[in-house]
Amino acid sequence: MPENLQGEPQQGVASMVGDIVQDAQKLVRQELALAQREIAIAWGKAKKGVTLLSSALAIFVVGGVLAGVMIAKFLHQYALPNHEWACFGIACGLFVLGGAVLTYCGIQQVKKIHVSLPQSAETLHGDVPAPNGALTSSRASAITLLKP
């Protein structure tokens, strides 16, 4: 095998390609581990948020029922003393209108959600580009997919 000026044997092309493949595999494993970690963190936050929102919903349901009865009884007492059913209908209509507005606002918020992995995208931007530019277009398309 040929030797360089320091007297060490030069690596063959096959071993260099093997090292490149090993480095690429290591990089892919690290990127996948980072993505898994980000997903796990996001999932934990989502679970906590859903739990809190579910608890709040249960409390609001009880409060809403009581408020509806209170409004209906108030209307029956002071506005329509002979038409209790109409008072409950008015109270129900107010709650349905409020629910419709909240549903619309919630749908608009859900439409704004973009699932992304910011750290993974950042590390993809920081990776060393391919020497001959052959992988540049595929990497650019992968990075574009990860942009929010």
Does this model's pTM top 0.75? My answer is no
The model's confidence at residue 138, banded by pLDDT at 50, 70 and 90, is very low
Q: What is the mean pLDDT of residues 107-132?
A: 71
Give the per-residue pLDDT at 10: 63
Give yes or no for a contact between 86 and 80, defined as CB atoms under 8 angstroms apart. Answer: yes
| Averaged confidence pLDDT in the chain | 81
Q: What is the mean pLDDT of residues 43-52?
A: 90
Burial 125-138 (b: 16+ CB within 10 A, else e): eeeeeeeeeeeeee
Give the per-residue pLDDT at 122: 76
127 CB-near residues (< 8 Å, 6+ apart): 27, 139
pLDDT of 119 above 90: no
